[in-house]
Amino acid sequence: MQPHRISVVVPVYQGEHTLNALIDEILPLTKTQTTPGGRPLVVEEVLLVFDHGPDGSAAVIRELARQHDFIRPIWLSRNFGQHPATLAGMASSGGEWVVTMDEDGQHDPADIGGLLDTALDQQATLVYAQPVNAAPHGALRNAASKSSKWLTTKILSSENSVKYQSFRLVLGEVGRSVAAYAGSEAYLDVALGWIAGEVTTSPVQLREERGRASGYHLRSLLSHFWRMVLSSGTKGLRMVSLIGFLFAVGGLVIVLYVLASYVFFDAGVEVRGWASTMIVMLFGFGAVLFSLGVIAEYIGVAVKTAMGKPPYLIVSDPASGPLGRRNATEPPA
């Protein structure tokens, strides 16, 4: 049986101190190995997508590419973020299967065989790693992650959001197709769900990150969540309609209450309650402004797509081009 050919895509933002260890773990898989289910596999390429992080990752990528023929550096024109960088790697891949994983060492390359077995056993085109232990991010971030997935599952009816993980295996032609048409504001896993057939999970054990701070902060995590909401279709707009309906019903109830109070209880007495009126108005205007904000976000996504904003742009290694020739004596960065 011919081995299943796998491309590994690694978005690199802060990988200066973790990439070497990760490649050392992937190295045995570049020779034909056998999965726990007895299927042969081989990692034929590792695509390191440089996303212009703050450390010396670029130099490490260049050195790894000199040492190993299977390393393929992918250079982006600027920082685009983890999902666009992953899309760029998928678009450049050539394997029958594409595995995406983080640079920080919490994903074990030895689990790739299990992901492949699950895909073949269940005839799935997309397999997410399902951690059997808590993610090593701290209680607050883990709670926020669970809450966001619960919200998207219950409110936006996105069942697959519970499975979303950056450690995933996808059929190569599916991954490359998503990379070809996904817009700049599309959430990667939502876009994969648009065309993937069977979607399932495979159990893995997450490891501690290798001595580096997370590249995600509160603002970036909120942006990540909001992109997932906007990419989930027009359900957010339906939620706006629901909010308007609820406030309209609430207003009608208040009107009936005021009329009933005037007719049956306080006849001949001026109806009071300016404070209550102001509170109702503030809530009403708040609901209107919130609804307009959500609509504006959807319009913004549509405008960016219509203007042709690319999700990523692949360029040549800056050190090998004009930017690397700063002067005659200074070496390239």
Q: For residue range 105-161, what is the model confidence (pLDDT) as tens digits?
A: 999 999 999 999 999 999 999 999 999 887 665 565 556 566 666 665 555 555 555
- Angstrom distances, CA of residue 187 to CA of 138, 184, 311: 24, 9, 11
Mean pLDDT of 224-237: 63
- Angstrom distances, CA of residue 23 to CA of 74, 131, 150, 212: 16, 22, 35, 17
Q: What pLDDT band is residue 316 in, cutting at 50, 70 and 90?
A: confident
Q: What pLDDT band is residue 297 in, cutting at 50, 70 and 90?
A: confident
pLDDT tens per residue, range 92-119: 999 999 999 999 999 999 999 999 999 9
The confidence score (pLDDT) of residue 290 equals 74
Which of the given ranges, 3-12, 172-181, 238-247, 301-310, has the highest pLDDT on average? 3-12
In angstroms, rounded to a whole number, what is the distance separating the alpha carbons of residues 42 and 327?
A: 43
Written as six digits, the tokens of 25 are 């773990």
The confidence score (pLDDT) of residue 79 equals 92
The confidence score (pLDDT) of residue 209 equals 74
The dotted CATH code for 4-215 is 3.90.550.10
Residue with tokens 């019903």: 249
The confidence score (pLDDT) of residue 214 equals 56
* pTM for the whole structure: 0.74
